[in-house]
Amino acid sequence: MKYLDFKIICIDLRKYSTYEDILKLLEDNEIVGLYVEKILELREKYNKIFIDVIGNELFAVLHKNGEIELSVNTDTHLFNLKSLKPQGKGLIKDLSDLSLDEILDKINKSGIDSLTPREKYFLKKHQ
């Protein structure tokens, strides 16, 4: 299974107007590898920018008219991801190791929020 690692940050360009402001923001947040000059240029067209700081790539932008636009690289990465598929014992395939009494005891002891998704599914099927 192919997973993508992202660490997306948002910079509200309306709040930062100088080179020093943006540099301080990046330094305060320990973000390296971004060009302050480029961020200042983007300020002309966009209200916010979303940057993947792992890949140092622009992820998306918020235009001044409120429209969000994904970058070309983002589109390519997202559309090339494969859908998840059940692995091994799936939620629906095998519930034989669960019992209604054990689940009800667990609810009495720890509350309904303590149930796993499989236990919640089992409980729903046995109402």
pLDDT tens per residue across span 37-72: 999 999 999 999 998 888 788 889 999 999 999 888
Whole-model pTM: value is 0.58
> What CA–CA distance (Å, rounded) separates 120 from 33?
45
8 A C-beta contact, residue 17 and residue 36: no
pLDDT of residue 1: 43
Q: What gap in Å lies between CA 14 and CA 66, rounded to an integer?
A: 13
Q: CA-to-CA distance for 31 and 56, rounded, in angstroms? A: 10
**In this structure, how many other beta carbons lie within 10 angstroms of the beta carbon of residue 4?**
11
Both tokens assigned to 111? 């509350």
Per-residue confidence (pLDDT) for residue 85, from 0 to 100: 65
Split at pLDDT 50, 70, 90, the class of 10 is very high
